[in-house]
Amino acid sequence: MERRYILLRPEQTKSNRRRAIPLNKTALQALERLLEGNKTQWVFARRKNGKTGERVKALDWLFRKAVKLAGIEDFRIHDLRHTFASWLVSEGVELVKVRDLLGHTSIKMTERYAHLMPDRLHDAVEILDLFAGSNR
């Protein structure tokens, strides 16, 4: 929490690599609220009679319940990952950074979001305007 990262062990990742996921202020505040009064090492722990206990291993049923309560149809947990990447790319975050945040082992996987950066080529050629009128 102090360093604002979530550390994932290799056995917790699809690529079987250790990863550090940075947390923004909103995520950090949400985690702090979630951990209030939590007496275990787990972020998601079973709560019985006001006590926290063993680790919750699968969150998919909780996610489906939340989606249903929100009245959202045809939405999977993986759609959150896609939205995360889409928002970052559409705001101009470099594909290499998005790749690292998603944990892709290849930039090819991340390039599927490149179409969301329509101005990226304009930004590149505008650099040439710096040289316009110079004596080069």
Q: pLDDT per residue over 32-72, tens digit each?
A: 888 887 777 778 777 766 566 778 878 888 899 999 999 99
Q: How many CB atoms lie within 10 A of CB 99?
A: 19
Q: What is the mean pLDDT of residues 62-90?
A: 94
Helix, strand, coil shares of the chain, percent, nearest 5, are 50, 10, 40
Which burial class, exposed, middle or buried, applies to 52 when counting CB atoms under 10 A from its CB (0-12, 13-18, 19+)? middle
Whether the pLDDT of residue 104 is over 80: the answer is yes
* Alpha helix ranges (H) inside the chain: 25-35, 60-69, 77-90, 95-102, 107-110, 120-126
Q: What is the mean pLDDT of residues 13-17?
A: 86
CA distance 120 to 94: 10
What backbone torsions phi and psi does residue 130 show, to the nearest 5 degrees? Answer: -60, -30
Q: What's residue 37's pLDDT?
A: 76
pLDDT tens per residue across span 116-127: 887 777 877 888
Measured CA distances, 4 to 13, 81, 113 (Å): 19, 20, 26
Q: What is the mean pLDDT of residues 70-89?
A: 94
Q: What's residue 111's pLDDT?
A: 93
Whether the pLDDT of residue 89 is over 90: the answer is yes
Domain segments of the chain: what residues? 1-57, 74-136
Whether the pLDDT of residue 114 is over 80: the answer is yes
Query: For residues 79 and 87, is the Cβ–Cβ distance under 8 A?
Result: no
